Copies of this chain bind each other. A is one copy, B any other.
Amino acid sequence: MESVFQQNDNRTELSDVGEFALIEKLTAELQVINKSTIKAVGDDAAVIQNGDMQTLVSVDLLVEGVHFDLMYTPLKHLGYKAAVVNFSDIAAMNGKPMQIVIGLAVSNRFSLEALEELYSGIRLACEQYGVDLVGGDTTSSMSGLFISVTVIGQALPQDICYRHGAAENDLLCVSGDLGAAYMGLMLLEREKAVYKADPSMQPDLDGNDYVLSRQLKPEARFDVLEELKKAGVKPSSMIDISDGLASEIIHLCKASNLGCRIYETKIPIDPATIRLAEEFRLVPSIPALNGGEDYELLFTISPSDFEKIRNIESVSVIGHMTTNRGETVMITIDDRLIPLKAQGWDGLRNNNKQD
């Protein structure tokens, strides 16, 4: 038994480490014991051998005050989103989500009715995506709401897309459009500030349904996977865009040991996102590159597959992979070459509050 009532002397602040470096540090010494463990830490989901199929497992935590603000997030939407962002991790592996388990820590501030709202959103997401809620743990917290969602998916081994599969000259593609979820968040934060200053003010959200739904009710892009399959294309590598395009591109390049070039003019951005970005005096590519929470897919395909995907409306080619490892760059609208930086959601840096 080690001694109790004592503290560690060394101290490195988490804010000096950053989320990705932290995970690397904590999992550096891990060695795989079981033969069934095909892929441990380092992709959108872990991969486990199970007979002829492979099982995919991924977990996401959503923390009140860090990932969501209940002032403008209806609990039903929160439940839906908590489930869907996990389904998206399975989509990023080209798998099918099958089951989820939910861990919930709630303070006494929450009523039974509030949790029923949250669960109704989780259930709705499960129905829409054909997933079973199979278990959970509900406990109290000293303050705030914590949601942990673990998703179990499956895929045939040959169908799984890892982050590390990209090859030189592969085309870099994204689904849908980017930056809308972040502009939705900006809008909600602005109206919250107005409301706090004067509670008689009604929030002005008119005409912004698209960006709001992207923030409050994201979807996982299994429809895009279906279209790729129909077209006979299997991505050589894939990741979902949860932390912003720039951050995910860097993950993909690092895992595949390649560099890339993307073109600012090719990044798909919805007119509603552009309009709102301009209202907030932001270059529209900024929320797309660094905003996060779009839950679109970023993937690479062989150049020989280009003809097969060029008519898929929901897929845009934004650049290509290069052998120039470490060079992940964007050609801007005015033809400058700038390095991409991972400035996405870094919860450990964003939160400067001490408790």
A residues sitting closer than 8 Å to B (CB atoms) are 1-5, 8, 10-17, 19, 22-23, 25-27, 29-30, 32-34, 36-37, 39-41, 45-46, 48, 50-53, 55, 57-61, 63-67, 71-77, 98-99, 101-117, 119, 123, 126-127, 130-144, 146, 148, 150, 152, 154, 188, 191, 195, 203, 205, 209, 212-213, 216-217, 347-348, 350-355
Question: Top 6 closest A-B pairs, CB basis?
Answer: A51-B51, A143-B355, A46-B134, A148-B148, A50-B50, A12-B112
Contact A40-B134, Cβ < 8 Å, known A4-B205, A142-B355, A355-B144: yes
Neighbour of A46 across the interface among B60, B64, B106, B135, CB < 8 A? B135
**Separation in Å of the A276 CB from the closest CB of chain B?**
15
Neighbour of A99 across the interface among B46, B52, B112, B114, CB < 8 A? B46
Copies in the complex: 2
Neighbour of A106 across the interface among B14, B32, B65, CB < 8 A? B14
Task: Please give me the residue from chain B that is nearest to A52 by CB atom.
Answer: B51
CB distance B355 to A140 under 8 Å?
no
Bound Cα distance from A176 to B39, whole angstroms:
37
Neighbour of A139 across the interface among B63, B113, B154, CB < 8 A? B63
Residues of B within 8 Å of A116, CB to CB, are 25-26
Contact A61-B30, Cβ < 8 Å, known A23-B136, A146-B146: no
Give the dominant DSSP class at A's interface.
Answer: mixed
Bound Cα distance from A4 to B22, whole angstroms:
36
> Which of A53, A66, A138, A205 has the largest count of B CB atoms less than 10 A from its CB?
A138
CB distance B41 to A108 under 8 Å?
no
Contact A101-B150, Cβ < 8 Å, known A5-B72, A216-B1: yes
Residues of B within 8 Å of A27, CB to CB, are 119, 133, 136
